Homo-oligomer: A and B are copies of this chain.
């Protein structure tokens, strides 16, 4: 919970100096649903906005059990070894929708978290359908302002939030495992459509052949479901996050994807779409907040009762309510 006395200017300065605790407090502030935190969050972001926009934004999506967090741990440490600073906005494994195992939770991204050039932030709301999009955009901005050159957003592959996440990252990586046909049944098909890169994880030990097989099947399926003719080919790879094999080629593929998109102008268009989508979501949110004001809730109750008594149509009641907004 953000302290009521949080000073946005001081917090922004501490965050810009790269203080991890300041970044953590700032994310808590922008995620807060308390009305009194809204103006503070706005002031904080306004202060930091000029420092944002420079990172590689990577989305990592996939069903529970695909090994997303182990892969993020390996991939992020690889990037750090090459000079990057990496922030991860992760699903909180303790939340009921996180789907992490108890054993897995204990060691979840623990090696990454021990790196000085890393920042790992689990958010319960990131596991909630719709909760991803809402404030992730702002958390990404805060990580950028704190000097992270790579920001990874982990999401569940349920299809609920991916559309929003896909437009707020530069590259969406979908993580599957062998038997992905079944996984894809459970996931919305649209997630596969949205993915820029697909990896079949756990290509290790006895599982290796099955993973290779799954990867060729997926590659064929993706070839059939090609997006716009100009869209870059969506590569399918196998990796083993456990053995840390395939991590280097994957990181190169991610960088190549983003460079290609930047050169073609697609990256700028995608980010503009993301901003437009974020604005849309914020307008809806602001309207809902406005309608939740006590006097409007009371007015709505009064008008709703008149509708039930057949003294007003819903249309007329709605007009009267919206007139009261002013």
Contact = CB atoms under 8 A, between A and B. Distances in A.
Nearest to A318: B282
B286 A321 contact: yes
Interface in A261-316: 272, 275-276, 278-279, 281-283, 285-287, 290-291, 300, 303-304, 307-308, 310-316
Interface string A36-54: 0010011001100110110
B53 A314 contact: no
B276 A317 contact: no
A282 B315 CA distance: 5
Interface of A: 38, 41-42, 45-46, 49-50, 52-53, 137-138, 141, 272, 275-276, 278-279, 281-283, 285-287, 290-291, 300, 303-304, 307-308, 310-319, 321-322, 325-326
B315 A42 contact: yes
A281 B314 contact: yes
A49 B313 CA distance: 8
A57 to B, nearest CB: 15
Contacts of A141: 313
Protomer copies: 2
B286 A319 contact: yes
A61 to B, nearest CB: 22
A313 to B, nearest CB: 5
Nearest to A284: B318
Contacts of A41: 315
A46 B285 contact: no
Given A286-B319, A319-B286, A314 B279 contact: yes
B279 A283 contact: no
A307 to B, nearest CB: 5
Contact of A276 (B281, B282, B304, B311): B304
A138 B322 contact: no
Contacts of A287: 287, 322
Contacts of A272: 308
B42 A319 contact: yes
Contacts of A138: 313, 315
A26 to B, nearest CB: 13
A291 B141 CA distance: 28
Given A304-B276, A326-B326, A45 B316 contact: yes
Contacts of A319: 38, 42, 282, 286
Contacts of A312: 46, 49
In order of increasing CB-CB distance, the 10 nearest A-B pairs are A282-B318, A326-B326, A278-B314, A286-B322, A279-B314, A286-B318, A282-B314, A283-B318, A45-B313, A282-B315
18 contacts: A38-B319, A45-B315, A46-B312, A49-B312, A52-B310, A138-B313, A275-B304, A276-B304, A276-B307, A279-B304, A279-B318, A281-B314, A283-B300, A283-B321, A283-B322, A287-B322, A290-B322, A326-B326
Contacts of A311: 49
B286 A316 contact: no
